[in-house]
Structure 1
């Protein structure tokens, strides 16, 4: 709870190379899976998600959180019919 405002709302200005990791942690005997999306150069966490199971949904949510940082990196391509 103390770190979340810094990770969720701070503009880290991530680069073009990212890395991801999925692991599990145990807190008071309860296993929780955690996904991290990080900038490869600055090693700042730009997306994360914790879940009680290892399904694809929480992983996609971590990626979506990270993709919110790249709105200005991906150029807009005009769509023509």
Structure 2
């Protein structure tokens, strides 16, 4: 994941292997959770998440019924927001 400011300057970059998970939806949701968790200690009050996983974004925005497979991840993100 990479964090950039409104001018496009890199603020933070992070990468880590993800342990084996059975579903692609989980692999898409975990980095979003990690990004929100890392933004809080940095004091970032506004964070824009960019992802190609439209269904995960819609679930996080509560525009789509949350899949049971990532319900706990979504709940963590909502709590952190």
Shorter chain as denominator, the TM-score bin is: 0.3 to 0.5
- Structure 2 length normalisation: TM-score? 0.32
- Structure 1 length normalisation: TM-score? 0.32
Q: Which has the larger radius of gyration?
A: 1
User: Greater relative contact order (Cα 8 A, min sep 6): structure 1 or 2?
Assistant: 2
